[in-house]
Structure 1
Amino acid sequence: MNIKTVIFDLDGTLIDSRKDIAVAANKTLSELNLPTLPEDTIASFIGGGVDILVKRCLGEQNMHRFDEVLQNYKNNYGQSCTVYTTLYPGVKEVLAFLKKREMEIALATNKVISLSEKILEHLGVRNYFSVMLGPEHVKNRKPNPEIINVLLEKINTKPEEALYVGDSELDILCGKNAGTHTCAVTYGIASIESIIEADPDFIITDLKKLILLLA
């Protein structure tokens, strides 16, 4: 592989944001007199973007309150998105390695960029990323390849020169649809079974193994 650009997903790949998301979701549900959910259940809803998260939290019986809940959740999460969120082990080492190798480091996420930047700034790694794209930059969500296509065009990189690293089948299919190499991490939110079914080029259990892949 002649990799010049490494593109990362965010939640479940670089950051463990499950508790902050679950706390904000349950705070919202409680404030609006709706039933709360176990944190693990809410965590399983992460990955498809905030709209899907809220819809899954509500269920069909409360979907008529979607707009109200969505706005309240955005407010609550925006105020508390850095309370419990941490980097996964090895993230700083991998980003430093890529920077030393003069590789382009980019982010393609379903989380809005204002929140992504706030979290990465808080965790001390924002400056590693040359390009960050979120749902506000595209019309189609993953696994549609639009977010990768737009990103690669911005940094003038061919798909075969890029590696997309993510924790879910949506990430892997997005990368494959865009023509990039793909690498799945197993420590995130998605099940190993769904990752295997997506058939990534590489599967790693620890992000630091990316250093061996790219060395």
Structure 2
Amino acid sequence: MNIIFDLDGTLIDSRLRLYQLFQKLVPKSRLDYIQYWDFKFAGLSNEAILSRQFGLGETQVIEFRERWMDLIESPEFLSIDTNFPGVHAALSRLKSEAKLYVCTARQLVDPVYVQLESLKLLEYFESVMVTEQRNTKDFLISQNVKDLSSADWVIGDTGKDIQVGAALGMSTCAVLTGFMKREALLKYCPSRVVESVIDFAL
């Protein structure tokens, strides 16, 4: 049996990283952490927040997006991330029952490995797949994980993760540790919804 995990919002808590980068790039922002994530949970992108709350024009939004992509995976900001509580115990338990993989939509491969090693997560996984903004998750999974079936799982915090698993004929589990609420995730018809990875059991 195989289990493929998303990374950000699923195994690691990246919310503070995203908030602090937003504040760095928008110096006039007075949004606190809760206010920022209230907007995100409401389904607003950074671009929508910039437009609606700060009146930024299209050119400024494009500049923001470019700077965001340049910095979001930098060592300075990745160092902010932490494991979700209980992740080590959950992965150790699941590793005894299945082969575990990570598949993430990040841009850069090396920082993923550095971070997983730093957070002491790398040892749990058969391999780590990174889209690098060039490949789709379903393509990477199909190329790197053999004999996929409905008994295998994709676990993630976004509707896209659920779509990837469904496209591959796999079972899917949505976790509520990202920035989508249960009601929004249910629209993608996951096989299961749990509060966090630690609540997932085969």
Q: TM-score, normalised on structure 2?
A: 0.79
Moved more, 169-178 or 16-25: 169-178
Match of 1:12 in 2: 9
Q: Say if 2:86 and 2:198, in contact at 8 Å, map to a contact too.
A: yes
- Alignment equivalent of 1:152, drawn from 139, 142, 162: 142
What displacement does 1:54 show?
5.2
**Tell me, what secondary structure is at the counterpart of 2:57?**
helix
Q: Distance in 1 between matches of 2:134 and 2:26?
A: 29
Match of 1:26 in 2: 23
CA RMSD of aligned residues (A): 2.9
Q: Distance in 1 between matches of 2:101 and 2:45?
A: 24
* Cα distance per residue 1:27-86 (max 9 Å; x no partner): 1222xxx6564434544549xxxxx96534543843313453334334443132244321
- Alignment equivalent of 1:162, drawn from 152, 169, 172: 152
Q: Where does structure 2 lack aligned partners over 5 or more consecutive residues?
A: none
- Alignment equivalent of 1:93, drawn from 89, 101, 105: 89
Query: Which has the larger helix fraction?
Result: 1
**Tell me, what secondary structure is at the counterpart of 1:198?**
coil
Match of 1:108 in 2: 103
Q: Say if 1:28 and 1:76, in contact at 8 Å, map to a contact too.
A: no
Letter in 2 for 1:73: W
Q: Distance in 2 between matches of 1:199 and 1:89?
A: 27
Q: Distance in 2 between matches of 1:124 and 1:41?
A: 31
Moved more, 7-16 or 112-121: 112-121
Q: Say if 2:10 and 2:196, in contact at 8 Å, map to a contact too.
A: no
Listed as ranges, the matches of 1:1-215 within 5 Å are: 4-30=1-27, 35=29, 37-40=31-34, 42-43=36-37, 45=40, 55-59=47-51, 61-77=56-72, 78-101=74-97, 103-112=98-107, 113-136=109-132, 138-139=134-135, 146-210=136-200, 213-214=201-202
What displacement does 1:19 show?
0.7
Letter in 1 for 2:117: E
Count of residues in correspondence between the two structures = 195
Identity, in percent, stands at: 23
| Residues 74/36 of structure 1: CA separation in 2 closer, same or farther (3 Å cut) | farther
Q: TM-score, normalised on structure 1?
A: 0.75
Q: Where does structure 1 lack aligned partners over 5 or more consecutive residues?
A: 47-51, 140-145
